[in-house]
Structure 1
Amino acid sequence: MSDPDNKKVSISVKTNQADKEQAAAIFDSLGLNLSTAINIFIKKSIVEGGLPFDVKDPFYSEANQAELDCRFKKIANNKGIHSHRPLDDEIADHAN
């Protein structure tokens, strides 16, 4: 008897042509095809109980957060603050 858990099913994934070609080339260099690579991703996600890698927004990187903290401190101390005029005022000045 065949085990119903081992029955293979198809899934469909949409991506753009360039990404598919780049991924296929990477996986090919590793001796894998797209299907095998996707199955590895799925199995690893199951083992990890989520994505097998961190998904991060670069906005929250340590370097960016340090820069923002520095800027906020300058603002709090009234340093490095430049006054700005509304764009409408500048346009009116240039028209005269």
Structure 2
Amino acid sequence: MAKTANLYARIEPEIKEQAEIILDSLGIPASNAIAMFYKQIILNHGIPFELKLPAKAPLVLADLTEEGLNRELMKGYADITNGNKKAATEIFDKIQKDYCL
């Protein structure tokens, strides 16, 4: 039996580059990371992480009408005037977590 097998996969160059930068900083070759992923699939009898869509899609400003944009801005203004505010770092952390960024 062969000690290794070849795997060919197509992936967007930007995703490959970003992942390899992280793997390099961890000292893990891409082939080892893929082998670890496959081993986790075997151990979990499926994908080793939860696959789900975000509960709420992010707001796309380009899709808003002028009225819709004004409505969103007024929501933000109302939150600020009511003292309902959070630190930007807290919000960015939540966005990264919610949208897997």
TM category (shorter chain) comes to 0.5 to 0.7
CA distance in 2 between counterparts of 1:8 and 1:56 reads 33
CA distance in 2 between counterparts of 1:37 and 1:16 reads 17
* Alignment RMSD (CA, Å): 1.3
Matched residues, percent identical? 38
Aligned length: 56
1:74 is matched with none
Q: TM-score, normalised by structure 1?
A: 0.54
1:28 is matched with 24
CA distance in 2 between counterparts of 1:52 and 1:16 reads 22
Higher relative contact order (CA 8 A, sep 6+): 2
Structure 1: runs of 5 or more not aligned:
65-96
Q: Which has the larger radius of gyration?
A: 1
Q: TM-score, normalised by structure 2?
A: 0.52
Per-residue Cα deviation, 1:15-68 (whole angstroms, up to 9, x for no partner)? 111111001011111110111101100001100100110001113xxxx4xxxx
Which 4+ stretches in 1 moved above 2 angstroms? none
2:37 is matched with 41
